[in-house]
């Protein structure tokens, strides 16, 4: 490899810390400083997912957006789900797709609504003409220093968004997916090393890790693979809409061995790798992307 192609990961993206910039939940990527990089200007596909049909939850921004862009540029047809309050980010992504000559299917709705979520897979099938990639990525994260500060309402929304929706969607997808299909969940370093102020969020992420490994065993006989990506600190709207305690955004991700937070684009390729047919022996795995913390 030519030395000119090598880029030091310590300096590849923003590494100077962040300004405090609180937004109301769920937050918009377009209003962040710096705006997260989901690969809009950099991800180049090589046809690794030509003809595939993907549904990505939380696909309007952050990691889900990076996966959606990567999938489309690898040749897949893509539908995204997102909360209706995130329509502006979803429309920004639609413009990216249109610039690429691709079509983005938008399926807005609240994943805590059981009836909506149970119908989402069928809606994606109708819009895409099938479904063979499901990415359960949407997440709800609100930092609280003490269990005493976690309301029943917050706990319920965290569980429904992060765990129940994954269950409802995976159950529906498994019923219609053909052999060779794949389900990819978004876990977290909190699945293995919970941060004290993210008790309810970390609990759901631990559940996602176990769910991934258990479902992989169940669906192996149907030829459907199930894996997960476990990000460390990645710069997304989760962090500025209540996902970090006040005062903690400034140093977000600066304590990783690489010395910075990750950008969503750095994970897009992992979702492609787990989706593509060439990696057909990989199932029940959780792939870490955490800047060198060594948690997984």
Task: Note whether 294 and 258 are within 8 A (CB).
Answer: no
Mean pLDDT of all residues in 233-258 = 95
Return the bridge partners of 262, or none: 234
CB atoms within 10 A of CB 22: 11
Q: Which residue from 293, 167, 161, 292 is spatially nearest to 238, judged by alpha carbons? A: 161
Residue 165: pLDDT above 90? Answer: yes
210 token code pair: 């176990």
Report the CATH architecture of 26-41+50-289: 3-Layer(aba) Sandwich (3.40)
Residue 129: pLDDT above 50? Answer: yes
Mean pLDDT of all residues in 73-90 = 98
pLDDT at 1: 42
Task: State the residue for tokens 């997808």.
Answer: 173
pLDDT at 15: 85
Residue 4: pLDDT above 90? Answer: no
Element (H, E) at 256: none
Torsion of CA 17, 20, 25, 30, to 10 degrees: -60
Structural domain boundaries in the chain: 26-41+50-289
The number of angstroms, rounded, from the C-alpha of 293 to the middle of its chain's C-alpha atoms is 20
Mean pLDDT of all residues in 227-256 = 96
Strands 133-136 and 77-82, sheet pairing = unpaired
Q: Which residue from 191, 175, 195, 172 is spatially nearest to 255, judged by alpha carbons? A: 195
Q: Distance (Å, rounded) from C-alpha 11 to C-alpha 274?
A: 27
201 is a catalytic site residue: yes
Mean pLDDT of all residues in 72-90 = 98
pLDDT digits (tens, 9 = 90+) for 182-233: 999 999 999 999 999 999 999 999 999 999 999 999 999 999 999 999 999 9
Task: State the residue for tokens 């029940």.
Answer: 284
Mean pLDDT of all residues in 134-153 = 98
Residue 31: pLDDT above 90? Answer: yes
Q: Which residues of 146-155 are buried (b: 16+ CB within 10 A; e: fewer)?
A: eeeebeeebb
pLDDT at 3: 56
| Catalytic residue chosen out of the listed positions 43, 140, 201, 271 | 201
Residue 17: pLDDT above 50? Answer: yes
Mean pLDDT of all residues in 228-254 = 96
pLDDT at 294: 76
Task: Note whether 54 and 69 are within 8 A (CB).
Answer: no
Q: What is the DSSP string of 188-242?
A: -GGGTS--GGGHHHHHHHHHHHHHHHHHHHHHGGGT-EEEEEEE-SB-SHHIIII
pLDDT at 225: 98
Mean pLDDT of the chain: 96
Mean pLDDT of all residues in 130-153 = 98
- pLDDT band of residue 16 (cuts 50, 70, 90) is confident
pLDDT digits (tens, 9 = 90+) for 266-292: 999 999 999 999 999 999 999 999 999
Residue 125: pLDDT above 50? Answer: yes
pLDDT digits (tens, 9 = 90+) for 33-65: 999 999 999 999 999 999 999 999 999 999 999
Residue 164: pLDDT above 70? Answer: yes
Task: State the residue for tokens 């990216």.
Answer: 96
Residue 238: pLDDT above 50? Answer: yes
């Amino acid at each position: 490899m030519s030395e000119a192609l090598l880029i030091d990961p310590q300096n590849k993206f923003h590494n100077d810390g962040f300004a405090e910039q609180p937004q109301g939940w769920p937050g918009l990527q377009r209003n962040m400083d710096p705006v997260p990089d989901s690969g809009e200007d950099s991800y180049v596909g090589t046809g690794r997912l030509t003809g595939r049909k993907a549904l990505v939850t939380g696909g309007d921004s952050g990691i889900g957006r990076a996966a959606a862009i990567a999938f489309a540029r690898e040749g897949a047809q893509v539908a995204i789900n997102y909360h209706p309050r995130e329509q502006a980010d979803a429309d920004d992504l639609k413009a990216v797709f249109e610039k690429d000559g691709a079509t983005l299917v938008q399926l807005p709705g609240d994943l805590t609504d059981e009836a909506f979520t149970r119908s989402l897979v069928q809606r994606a099938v109708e819009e895409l003409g099938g479904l063979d990639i499901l990415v359960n990525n949407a997440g709800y994260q609100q930092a609280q220093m003490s269990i005493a500060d976690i309301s029943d309402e917050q706990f319920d929304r965290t569980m429904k968004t992060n765990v129940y929706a994954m269950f409802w969607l995976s159950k529906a997808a498994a019923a219609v997916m053909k052999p060779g299909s794949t389900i990819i969940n978004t876990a977290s370093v909190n699945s293995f090393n919970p941060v004290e102020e993210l008790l309810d969020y970390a609990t759901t992420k631990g559940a996602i890790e176990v769910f991934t490994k258990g479902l992989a065993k169940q669906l192996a006989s149907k030829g459907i693979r199930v894996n997960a990506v476990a990000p460390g600190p990645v710069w997304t709207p989760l962090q500025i809409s209540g996902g970090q305690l006040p005062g903690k955004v400034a140093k977000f991700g600066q304590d990783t061995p690489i010395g910075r937070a990750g950008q969503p684009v750095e994970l897009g390729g992992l979702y492609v790798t787990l989706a593509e047919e060439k990696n057909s022996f990989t199932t029940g795995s959780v792939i870490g992307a955490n800047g060198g913390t060594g948690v997984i």
